[in-house]
Amino acid sequence: DGGITQSPKYLFRKEGQNVTLSCEQNLNHDAMYWYRQDPGQGLRLIYYSQIVNDFQKGDIAEGYSVSREKKESFPLTVTSAQKNPTAFYLCASSGTGDQHPEAFFGQGTRLTVV
């Protein structure tokens, strides 16, 4: 089945540790995105990538890093510099042409800092 897979679904991290969230897609989409959602809030864009080896900061990139070494994969690292990392993290991908511009999401990763 085609889709986007995020892992793990739940993640607990000690303060001061870096952690990497996985996002893999087999939809052959060029564009991939990372969002953060806090309780009762909307989605805020962390990073996005249009093509391999290229990515752009979103609205709240501080304390996060990404890589795009393969088209299928766009991992997000939450670093110890992120002051309030507990949140629901969502990865999405979309086509870049006009025919299928809509985005599809993974099931998300709930990160809790303990």
Partner 1 sequence: RKEVEQDPGPFNVPEGATVAFNCTYSNSASQSFFWYRQDCRKEPKLLMSVYSSGNEDGRFTAQLNRASQYISLLIRDSKLSDSATYLCVVKALTGGGNKLTFGTGTQLKVEL
- Bridge partners of residue 58, in order along the sequence: none
Report DSSP state, residue 47.
E
Q: Which is nearer to partner 1, 63 or 108 (CB)?
A: 108
Structure tokens at 2: 């085609």
Question: What is the nearest approach in angstroms of partner 1 to the Cβ of residue 28?
Answer: 16
Q: Which is nearer to partner 1, 9 or 81 (CB)?
A: 9
CA distance 6 to 109: 7
In the complex, the residues that contact partner 1 under the rule CB under 8 A are: 31, 33, 35, 41-45, 48-51, 54-56, 58, 88, 90, 92, 94, 96, 101-108
Question: What is the nearest approach in angstroms of partner 1 to the Cβ of residue 22?
Answer: 15
Angstrom distances, CA of residue 36 to CA of 14, 53, 60? 19, 22, 9
Q: Which is nearer to partner 1, 13 or 45 (CB)?
A: 45
